[in-house]
A and B are shown apart, each in its own frame.
Chain A
Amino acid sequence: MNEQRLNQLTAKMRELDLNCLIAYFDGMHTFLEANYVYMLTDFKPMAESFAVLFADGRTTLLLTPAWDRHRARRGVAGCDVIGTDDLFGALKQFVDEHNIRWEETGLLGFSGLSQRSWERFAASFGMAAFSGTGSSPGSGAGLNHVDAHVLPILQTKTAEELKRAAEATRIAEKGFERFMEVIREGVTEYEIAGELDSYMRALGADDNFLLMSASKHNRSVRAPGDRRIERGDLILAEISPGVEGQFSQICRTVVFGESDEGRRQLLKEKYGLLLEALRQGIAAAAPGAAMSSLVTAMNAPIEAAGYGEFCHPPYMRVRGHGLGLSSILPGDVSLDNGTILQENMFFVLHPNQYIPETGYMLCGVPVRIASRGALSLCEGEPELVFID
C-alpha cells in the first residue's frame, strides 16, 4: 500500500481505537463504489477477497481462487497473501490465529456481501444469518462498519494515483484520435467501440468504462449497439480508461457527414454553451469551494441561453463525478454535494447537455484541484469535431 495512504489509515484506526480493519470485495469491479481491498493492497483481485490491515501496518490479502495467489505474491509489495478456495473458512482461521476481536475491528465494504456470502460469514463466526439492521449486514449485531469514517480519507488522490490518472488521460486522448480514424458510414457502433477499446488496451488500459453511441438526436449516451453510422449522426463517446486501477475520463462529440451549413452552425453554437459551462466550472473549482457551487457556475451559461429546464433530471444527471477504482470521492458534481474541494481531489467535469435542437452532446475533461484552482489533465479544450 502507498505509504501516504497507510499513514492516513493507521491514524484513523488510532482515532477510532481500532486494532484491525477488514475489507471485503465481492469480485465485481465497479465504477460506482469504493473497492477497499484494492485500497489496502493496490491489487485487483479477480474474485471474492478480504484484506486485513493491523494498526502496526501489517497487511494480509486473503483471495480466491487459490491459484491466483501467485499473481498476488508477485504484485503486492509488503503484504502477506493467502490463496484459498474457502474464503470464509480462511478468514475464520486467520481471525482465530491473530486473536482478532470484533469490538476492536472495523469492517469496510461489507455492504457488498451477497446473501450467500453473508450466510457463510455468519456461519463461520457463529452469528445469526439475519441479524442486525441498517445498510450493512450484521450492523447493530456486534459488527463495526466504518466505511463512513474511512472513505473521506480517499477524497484526495495520492501522487501515484495522480500519475496513473495522467497516463489514463493520455491514453483516453490517444483513443479519441483513433476513434475519429475508424468512424465511417455504415460501420456499427460496436465495431467502432471494439477498435477504440482494443487500441487503448494496447496502450496500457487495464479496463475501460466506455460508453459510445450515435443518433441524429441523442437522449443520452449508452453502451454501443448494432446501429450503423449514418451521415448526419452525432457520435458520442465517454472514454474512461484505467491504468493500474485508476480511471480517467474524457467526453467527446463528433458530427459525421453533416453537409447542411445551417445545422453545422447550430451545432457549433450550442456546443459553445457546453464549452463555456466547462470553462465556468473549471474557473469555480478551487480549494475551499463547495462542489455544488461548480454546478451553479456550469449551469449559468446554459440557463442564460434559455435551457434551464434541461439542466435538471430527467435531461441531465450530474455535471461530473469522481473516478476510482479505490474510491469515487469527492463524489458527484451535483447540487446536493456540499463537499469542500481540496488540493489533489480528482474528478471529471462534464457539462454533458441535452439541447432540444441538437439532442444530447458530450463535453468533459478530468481535472485535478491544485492550490491555484482546477487543472485539466487534457491537452487543450474539447472541440466539436466534424468529420465529413
Chain B
Amino acid sequence: MITMHPVVLRGCTTWDRDKLPLEEFQGRMNDVKTMMREQAIDCLIVYGDVRDFAELCYLTNYIPKHSSAMVVIPSDGDPYLIAAVAGTRDLPAVQVLTWIGDIRSTKRLDDELNKLAQSVRDQNRHLTVGICNPDLMRATLYRKIREACHGLQMKDVSAWFKRKLSFKRPREAAVMKHSARILRQAVNGFRETFSQSRNVVAALIEAERIARTSGAQDIRFLFSADEGRTLQPFEKLIEHRADAAYAYIAVEYLGYWAEGFVTIPAANLTDDHKAQADAYQKASVLLSCLIGSITAGARIADVAEGASRLLGGDYALHPVVSGKFGHSIGLSLSESPSLDASSEHVIEPGTFYSLHAAITGGASAESSGNALLSAMVHVTESGSEVLWSSLE
C-alpha cells in the first residue's frame, strides 16, 4: 500500500538480541555465502534504503533511518557495512543496531568501491561482483559502482533474495506475529477512540501513539473523509466526524510489517447506510473466502479468480488496492507475489500474506458503498493461521 513516507524513522530503533540473536544472522549469512559459491561471485553488494531495506535488514538488522546503506560481503572474509552517517561520532549509534563489526561511512564511498573492485581483481578468481537491488539505488550510485567495477562481471542476484525472503524463518515468523499484535493494539485503540469521538483523525492519532509506545519503529496510516471513496494521509488537522470510519494502518517492528484495513460501519443503520452495510457484508464474505483459500499448494490465480467470481458484477475492487486481492508481506510492506489472476505462483508454507477485501460498488450507482477489510495470515504446512483480521 502506498503511504506518506516520513523524513526519518523515529520509532523504536534496536537490535533485539533475544528475538533475533547473532546466530540467526550468521545462519542467514551462511546461506548467502553458499549462494555466492554456487554462483561464482567473489564479492556481493546488497543495497538498502529507508524505504526499501528488506535485504539489508535481513542480513544485518540495520535499517537506515533517513538515507541508504550497503553491506559488502566478500566471498572470503567478513562483511562490512557502508552507511550514510553524518560523521564518525554517529558510528557507535549504528554499531549497536547491527552485528556487523566493520562500519564505514559513505563519505568515503569512492575509495571503498575502488578498494572492493581491486580486491576482486587481485583475487583473480571469478572476477564477478554480485549486486542486490541495483534497480532501487540511485542511477548515479549505480554508475559509480559500474565504473569502479570496470572490467568485472556484474551479476544481479536480487531475484535470489526475493525468493529467500519470501519464506520466513521461525524467528522471523515470531517477529511477524509480534508486529500483528502491535497492529491489533493500534486498531483496538482506533476503534475505541472513534466510537467515543466519531473523529477518524483523532482515532488514528491514538492508534499511532499506541503503536509507537508499543515498540513500532514506523507506522503509516490513511483515512477517508468521503465515506470510503478515497483514502488520504495526514496533511493537517481536519474536523471530520462521521458515522462510519474507513482507515488503513500499517506498523513496522524490527523491520517486519503488519498492515490492516479497518472499516467501522455506522452504528445505526438508516436507508442512507444501506449501501454501506451491503458492501460491508459483501467484503466480509469475500475476506472469509480469501482466508479459507490461502492454503499451501493453492494456485494464486485460482484464489484470485474465485474471489473475483464471488464479487460478482455489482462490486469491484477498490482503487486503492490496485486490482489485487493482497500480497505477500514481511520486511517489505508489499512483497511478491501479489494475489491477482495473472500470477503463476503457488502458495507455499512459511509465507505470510496480507489479504485485501477492499471493494466499492453496489446494486446501483446511486447506492454505491465502500468497505475496506483485510487479514494477515501465516501459511503453514497444515493450513493457515490468521494473525489479525478486520473482522475481529
Interface residues of A (CB under 8 A from B): 27-32, 44, 46-47, 64-68, 70-71, 75, 85, 111-119, 130, 135-137, 188-191, 193-195, 197-198, 201-204, 206-213, 219-220, 222-226, 242-244, 247, 313-317, 325, 354
Q: Does B309 contact A (CB under 8 A)?
A: no
Kindly list chain B residues whose C-beta atoms are within 8 Å of the C-beta of A208. Answer: 6-8, 10
CB distance from A219 to the nearest CB of B (A): 6
Interface residues of B (CB under 8 A from A): 2-14, 16, 49-51, 65-67, 86-90, 92-93, 96, 134-143, 146, 202, 205-206, 208-209, 211-213, 215, 229-237, 319-320, 322
Contacts A189-B12, A190-B213, A224-B10 known; list 17 others, CB within 8 Å.
A31-B8, A65-B322, A111-B140, A113-B138, A114-B139, A116-B135, A197-B208, A197-B212, A203-B237, A204-B237, A206-B235, A207-B6, A208-B6, A208-B7, A223-B13, A244-B235, A313-B87
**Does A220 contact B213, Cβ atoms closer than 8 Å?**
no
Bound form: Cα–Cα A212–B9 in Å: 12
> Would A190 and B235 be within 8 Å (CB), given that A223-B9, A224-B13 are in contact?
no
CB distance from A320 to the nearest CB of B (A): 14
> Would A222 and B90 be within 8 Å (CB), given that A65-B322, A137-B139, A198-B208 are in contact?
yes
Which chain B residue has the least Cβ–Cβ distance from A45? B4
Kindly list chain B residues whose C-beta atoms are within 8 Å of the C-beta of A117. Answer: 139
Bound form: Cα–Cα A179–B199 in Å: 25
Kindly list chain A residues whose C-beta atoms are within 8 Å of the C-beta of B231. Answer: 67
Bound form: Cα–Cα A62–B376 in Å: 33
Interface centre among B7, B65, B67, B92 (most CB of A within 10 A): B7
**Does A190 contact B212, Cβ atoms closer than 8 Å?**
yes
Interface centre among A190, A243, A313, A314 (most CB of B within 10 A): A190
CB distance from B2 to the nearest CB of A (A): 5
Interface centre among A70, A114, A243 (most CB of B within 10 A): A114
**Does A115 contact B205, Cβ atoms closer than 8 Å?**
no
Query: Contacting A219 at CB < 8 Å: which of B89, B137, B233?
Result: B89
**Does B137 contact A224, Cβ atoms closer than 8 Å?**
no
> Would A65 and B87 be within 8 Å (CB), given that A31-B8, A210-B10 are in contact?
no
Bound form: Cα–Cα A363–B73 in Å: 40
Kindly list chain B residues whose C-beta atoms are within 8 Å of the C-beta of A222. Answer: 13, 90, 93
CB distance from B181 to the nearest CB of A (A): 16
**Does A195 contact B2, Cβ atoms closer than 8 Å?**
no
**Does B234 contact A27, Cβ atoms closer than 8 Å?**
no
**Does B5 contact A118, Cβ atoms closer than 8 Å?**
no
**Does A194 contact B209, Cβ atoms closer than 8 Å?**
yes
Kindly list chain A residues whose C-beta atoms are within 8 Å of the C-beta of B134. Answer: 115
**Does A31 contact B7, Cβ atoms closer than 8 Å?**
yes
Complex A-B: 17 CB contacts under 8 Å? A30-B66, A44-B235, A85-B322, A114-B136, A115-B134, A130-B143, A137-B139, A201-B234, A206-B234, A209-B8, A210-B8, A211-B8, A223-B11, A226-B12, A226-B215, A244-B235, A315-B89
CB distance from B114 to the nearest CB of A (A): 18
Query: Contacting A220 at CB < 8 Å: which of B50, B89, B208, B233?
Result: B89
Bound form: Cα–Cα A116–B156 in Å: 13
CB distance from A332 to the nearest CB of B (A): 11
Which chain A residue has the least Cβ–Cβ distance from B86? A317
Query: Contacting A204 at CB < 8 Å: which of B67, B135, B141, B236?
Result: B236
Which chain A residue has the least Cβ–Cβ distance from B13? A223
Query: Contacting B90 at CB < 8 Å: which of A30, A202, A207, A220?
Result: A220
Interface centre among B10, B96, B208, B319 (most CB of A within 10 A): B10
CB distance from A52 to the nearest CB of B (A): 21
Kindly list chain A residues whose C-beta atoms are within 8 Å of the C-beta of B205. Answer: 198, 201-202
Closest A-B pairs by Cβ, 9 of them: A194-B212, A198-B209, A116-B135, A190-B12, A118-B139, A194-B213, A222-B93, A314-B88, A223-B13
